[in-house]
Amino acid sequence: MLRRVVAVCLLSGAGAGVVHLAAPPRPVSTAILVTTRDLPSGSVLGERDLTTRTIAADVGDLFLVEPRMAIGRRLAGPARRGEALTASRFVPRSVAEGLTSDLVALHVLVVDARSLDLAHAGSRVSLHDLDGALIVRAVLVLSIDPPDEEGLGLGAIGDPKSGLVVAMPRELVPQVLTRRGLDGSPPTVHLVLDSTPT
């Protein structure tokens, strides 16, 4: 009799294990941030602009999942109601956002403001000192100064008023800063457009 009881218990346990193994796994779900209304380009997001929606997927780092990741950020383009938000939807907080730890954003003036017409954010340029010696090759341009009001960006050669911000290798910063003006103004350089593709 005892043998029968033990056998029944073992069979019941094995059957439960088979049922458990055969059951489909629970779907992975993630709560992501979405917009609560249509928002125009340039909108700065607040709490009332955001809500969460649960989707049946593991999105990893693709979508934003916490309000703190979006509150106070400015949209780079319009967003529709219910749109899932990613980090790429926002205007960078600064030109230095996203730089690796070996780079810093450095503002330099150019001897000839007309040379700025050759460059744009995202292009690569080489910088030379006033004697023509190479300082650094193929640095990334992060931003260009807006044209000055007086000369519309076409200041006289040798009288630098405009410049650009570049991603400068950190180890070169002290060397470049020795070229600052006596009044503490940013370093002045010659700019050469680099042929490295962007």
DSSP annotation of 79: B
Residues 88/151, Cβ–Cβ less than 8 Å: no
State how far the Cα of 185 lies from the Cα of 198, in Å rounded to an integer.
Answer: 30
State how far the Cα of 52 lies from the Cα of 82, in Å rounded to an integer.
Answer: 9
Q: Token digits for 66?
A: 């916490």
Amino acid identity of residue 29, one-letter, is S
Residue 10 has pLDDT above 70, yes or no: no
Compare 54 and 158 and report the one with higher pLDDT: 54
Cα dihedral angle (63, 65, 68, 72), rounded to 10 degrees? 40
Residue 89 has pLDDT above 70, yes or no: yes
Find the range with the poorest average confidence among 17-31, 96-110, 176-190.
17-31
Residue 196 has pLDDT above 80, yes or no: no
| Other Cβ atoms closer than 10 A to 30 | 16
Residues 128/189, Cβ–Cβ less than 8 Å: yes
Burial of 163 (0-12, 13-18, 19+ CB in 10 A): buried
pLDDT tens track for 33-64:
999 999 998 889 999 999 999 988 777 678 89
- The continuous run of DSSP H or E covering 106 comes out as strand 103-110
Please, what is the average pLDDT of the chain? 80
Compare 20 and 47 and report the one with higher pLDDT: 47
| Nearest in space to 55 (alpha carbons), one of 36, 71, 33, 87 | 33
Q: Which residues of 69-79 are buried (b: 16+ CB within 10 A; e: fewer)?
A: bbeebebeeeb
Residues 103/170, Cβ–Cβ less than 8 Å: yes
| Nearest in space to 93 (alpha carbons), one of 122, 108, 72 | 72
Residues 107/165, Cβ–Cβ less than 8 Å: yes
Residue 82 has pLDDT above 90, yes or no: yes
Length of the chain: 198
pLDDT value of position 149 = 47
Residue 16 has pLDDT above 60, yes or no: no
